[in-house]
Structure 1
Amino acid sequence: MVAEALDGVARWDPLLHFIDTLDADGALSRAERVDLGLPLAGVPFLIKARTPAGSPIVTRLLAAGAIPLGTSTRARPDAVSQTFGWNGSEYTRNPWDLSRSSGGSSAGAAAAVAAGVVPLATGGDSAGSLRIPASFCGVVGLKGTAGRVPRADGRALAGLTIGGFIGTTLEDVALATSLVSGPDRLDPSALPHWPVPTVAGPESWRVAYRSALGLIQNDPAVNGVVRGSLAVPSIGVQDVALDWLPVDSAWLTLRDLDAGLPVEPSALQAAVQVRRHNSTALADLFSSVDALITPTTPRVAHGYDQHEQNIVVGDLCWGFNITGHPAVSVPVGLLDGLPVGAQVVAPHGREDVALAVAARLMMPISPPG
């Protein structure tokens, strides 16, 4: 499996530019010595570039037998927008259309998974950085409940960033998330170990649908694809109110707090109030429905070098980093030959619900060629 994955790197990376660093010899050496009784024995994966050394998300995958090929691309540091990847000389491209971005900041992860090079890659999600690239590339991206995956630097003040996975299937990302979950000496406040859920559930699910959550209006065609994916017998769309406040200012304030930058007390108070209000609004919503569904992004993948003009692509995602709810993006169709993703949001701690509902919507797709 590792040799095949390295062949895939040799074939596709010159076109897609998803590799940040490659350790082919190290990967093959690990593969020769792997314990075949481990749950991920020999499964090749990529680590998101600039992941801190000793991160539990990596050490626990290694302990489960997975084999790292190297690191995957992400956006340049300090970029205004993170919806692109950069390997130092080239932008990461989308396997569906080389003129398009693969999203970000977990850009290389999504491109490599969509191209079939690896079945799984690690990522991090502060404002949609797992879900956006998964949507752009037509694969699965899961952001768990805040605290689901332990962090190398422990609990952050604002808690926006959640480690997680981009993968080919819901089962893959669920298994990987379970294996890396649970408290760690570096993050003892992480949530308890999360057993692998069965991607199943009742015969029907009650869901609410929103085409927009902030000031950005979706491309009507994207909305049409996602809304159409709900027309299945097991999904019942309910007309339920959601009293949602815009989150852009709150997210920026909380991001600065996590980065150790100066934050005005009044701005922090306002951000905390947005978090409280929207968390309560979601609690009220989930008292009537099982899940909330939105498009993952307002539009399909933008040009690979047009990221600064497209910072709005996270408008449907970043609110759930503020509230800490689990959310998963799955492909539900194509628009003009590009993938469209649906985002399924569930109550705190109910990744199993998000995955089960997403399984009813997901349409597995593969890029041409």
Structure 2
Amino acid sequence: MLSAGEIAAGVRAGRLTAAEVVGEALGAARRLDPVLHFVDELDGDRALRLAREVDPDGVLAGVPFLVKARTPPGSPIIERLLAAGAIPIGTATRARPGPGSQTYGWNGSDYTRNPWDVTRSPGGSTAGGAAAVAAGVVPLTTGGDSGGSLRIPASFCGLVGFKGTLGRVPRAVGRALGGLTTAGVIGANLDDVMLATSVVSGPHRLDPTALPFWPVPVLADKPWKVAYLSTLSQYAVDAGVDAIVRDRLTVVEVIDVPLDLLPTDDAWQVLSDLDAGCGTEATASIRAREVRDRNNTALADLFDVVDALVTPTTLTVAHGYDQYNENIIVGDPCWAFNVTGHPAVSVPAGLLDGLPVGLQVVTPHGDDATALAVAKQLMVELPRP
């Protein structure tokens, strides 16, 4: 599979047709889904019709993508990708509704599998889309991140998952009460993820309080100063994961800066309940706000000294496809930045026993470009699984 940028350039130049590209993506989905179980529903007829009608001058002309299952109809992210010429070929699996860990995918009869090792999970809850991107079926998939649902699958599958500053991408439900979730994309290519995020950014009639339009940034290339924390809580990172991420830090200046964050587990649950329209006790809501405010202040002090904070994205590599509840804390490095709303991006750092390791870069509110610039210096190019 070509990158999204290469596909769109080929369609604009007449070297490719959108129908050819979409047809190949549909064929790959049908061949690989019986093994990986990433499809929720394919819509080949509509995809090919849209491909034949696409404006070849669109920024993402002819780029096939998958939509995360249960995405609300008329979502701004889908509407804007379509307007840019991208073609949805169907919906991708996600975790089943309900409490518990969401780091897996389910198609109604079987678990979604990781292309790097079909005994492992691709992460979640943007599970099927990540598996499809890693397998080369499509270059992009949509998702949302309220506790790592873009970054955890990116880490497990060796991809780029970008959670912009809260409000970077408008949402169909508008501004949520708890403010945990940011819509976004997962891709195999950092440039593709930046381009798609730019295309879908800016206020929308369904979410007029979203942040302003975000032009594709020109990433600075300079000696960055970063702080590194192997974990943000009492849960320890796997030693092999820690070693691989630390090895990538030789290309930046690492500064030892203390960071004292309050635990976010309880606050995250309260804010999640608010986002879901569930009632919470006033004292719990006040405490959640206090945790958010305290952690925002602590991170602001950190970013007075360094350009970015780097952590492992997940505490381990991909767990077994059906072992999600036993590994509920695997995405612990992600949740804190949903509570605070900071931009955070996961990129590949290397392989451990043949499985991808992700590193996470976090920067101040609104400074998404620096997170991506630091990530570009630290990431490695992995082979296809």
- TM interval, shorter chain, is over 0.9
Alignment of 1:291-306 (within 5 A): 291-306=308-323
Partner in structure 2 of residue 230 of structure 1: 249
Residue in 2 that maps onto 1:137: 157
Residue-by-residue CA offset, 1:12-61 (whole Å, 9 max, x unaligned) = 11111111010011111111111100100000000000000000000000
Residue 213 of structure 1 is matched in structure 2 by 232
1:68 is matched with: 88
Q: State how far apart, in whole Å, the 2-side matches of 1:15 and 1:35 are.
A: 34
Q: Normalised by the size of structure 2, how large is the TM-score? A: 0.94
Q: Is the 8 A contact 1:222 1:335 kept in 2?
A: yes
Q: CA deviation at 1:202?
A: 3.9
Q: Which amino acid aligns with 1:108?
A: G
What is the distance in 2 between the residues matched to 1:215 and 1:147? 30
CA contact (8 A) 1:225 1:333 kept: yes
Aligned position for 1:282:
299
From 122, 130, 139, the equivalent of 2:142 is: 122
- Give 1:278 shift: 0.5
Partner of 1:322: 339
Which residue does 2:373 correspond to in 1? 356
- Secondary structure class of the residue paired with 2:194: helix
1:80 aligns with 2:80: no
1:277-332: CA deviation from partner (whole Å, max 9, x where unpaired): 10001100111111000000000000000111111012100100010000000001
SS of equivalent residue, structure 2 residue 329: helix
- Letter matched to residue 96 of structure 2: R
- TM-superposed deviation, 1:367: 3.9
CA shift digits 1:311-368 (9 cap, x unpaired): 1012100100010000000001001110000000011111110110000111111344
- 1:168-188, CA deviations, whole angstroms, 9 ceiling, x for partnerless residues? 111111000100000001000
**1:166 aligns to what?**
186
Q: In the alignment, is the contact (CA less than 8 A) between 2:221 and 2:373 conserved in 1?
A: no
Report the counterpart of residue 324 of structure 2 in structure 1.
307
Q: Distance in 1 between matches of 2:332 and 2:351?
A: 20
Structure 2 residue matching 1:100: 3-state secondary structure: coil
Structure 2, unmatched stretches of 5+, are 1-20
In 1, the alpha carbon distance for the partners of 2:209 and 2:239 equals 42
- Counterpart code for 1:286: F
Q: CA deviation at 1:243?
A: 1.6
Aligned mates of 2:222, 2:343 — CA distance in 1: 22
Matched-pair contact (CA < 8 Å) for 2:245–2:349:
yes
- For 2:99 and 2:77, how far apart are their aligned partners in 1? 25
What is residue 4 of structure 2 aligned with on the other side?
A: none
Q: Does 1:55 align with 2:75?
A: yes
Give the Cα–Cα distance (whole angstroms) in 2 for the partners of residues 239 and 154 of structure 1: 39
Q: Does structure 2 conserve the Cα–Cα contact (< 8 Å) formed by 1:19 and 1:71?
A: yes
Distance in 2 separating the partners of 1:349 and 1:45: 27
Q: What is the Cα deviation at residue 241 of structure 1?
A: 1.4
Q: Distance in 2 between matches of 1:10 and 1:259?
A: 35
Which residue among 57, 61, 74 is the counterpart of 1:41? Answer: 61
Structure 1 residue 79 displacement after superposition: 4.1
Q: Distance in 1 between matches of 2:236 and 2:274?
A: 29
* CA–CA distance in structure 2, aligned partners of residues 109 and 324 of structure 1: 23
SS of match in other structure, 1:318: helix
Q: Does 1:18 align with 2:38?
A: yes
Distance across 2 between alignment mates of 1:351 and 1:21 = 33
Any runs of at least 4 consecutive aligned residues in structure 1 with deviations exceeding 4 A, and if so which? Answer: none
Where in structure 2 are the equivalents of 1:247-286 lying within 5 Å? 247-286=264-303
1:182 aligns with 2:202: yes
Partners of 2:254 and 2:243 lie apart in 1 by 15
8 Å contact kept, 1:123–1:130? yes
What is the number of residues matched between the two proteins? 365
Distance 2:192 2:32 in 1: 22
Q: Which residue of 1 aligns with 2:223?
A: 204
Between the aligned partners of 2:255 and 2:302, the Cα distance in structure 1 is 10
Which residue in the other structure is 1:90 paired with? Answer: 110
Q: Which amino acid aligns with 2:60?
A: L
The answer to whether structure 1 residue 29 and structure 2 residue 49 are counterparts is yes
Matched position secondary structure for 1:251: helix
Contact 1:146-1:162 at 8 Å conserved across structures: yes
